[in-house]
Structure 1
């Protein structure tokens, strides 16, 4: 965790999660979402070490899609606590994940926007195919790691948004 402050870009975040975080929260698929003011909503990205079909990638990134909206609603309904969300509860939206990746559940946690507990600031989803790890310790670990995940992901997103902005013209 001591290396988290040195992460400043999304690709560094991926490397950080695959090395240090992997030992604490084993996963092969991680979905990260952050509220973006200019979009007035949460934008999601998928980080994965498994091959994923284009349809699965789209479903995991689509903040307006049935799957992601169901996951967000479940996390909000759980009052912002970490949860192990069985994909069977998400119906048809999760059928492709269950079939393609042999997933049974997602570990989900996030941060709500200040003074708005039903609005998401950041949301993280973790999955591993056919994982038999006990979920209770993982949820506790995820809860402890959330502040670092939140800060580190937002720093990477913010840095890259700043790099995309055109430089101010130089006036003499």
Structure 2
């Protein structure tokens, strides 16, 4: 089950992030080339790059959480007994799930407000609401990853307990 979930994450959020990053790469190449040789940049290139960066960052969050690749302060872990580490890990996952879920909810509210007001980007006039809804959805998926780890602790490198990853 967990391998299937990881594949699903890779082929959904991972692919979205990779495609957005690839697009940023080409957009930057075309923009710089246009400025250097033709004295003309890509119209709205900055706005496109900003939106694509949001997709890269928020799209990568579920995979980063799944793989346990967040920045971790563990210099005192060798002093903590294993049974306390298990409780600590589950508590951290619960706090993370709650935080990401709360942020997702706030972004849904913000996206609804963007949609109601008809907010758009300045130059290209793209609607901002779908971007905010995408961000909220990806935060929700990240929250679900952390919630899953509350009940099924992940197996990390050098870890003897757990079993999800």
**TM-score of the aligned structures, taking structure 2 as reference length:** 0.26
Larger Rg: 2
Larger helix proportion of the pair: 2
Provide TM-score, normalisation by structure 1. Answer: 0.26
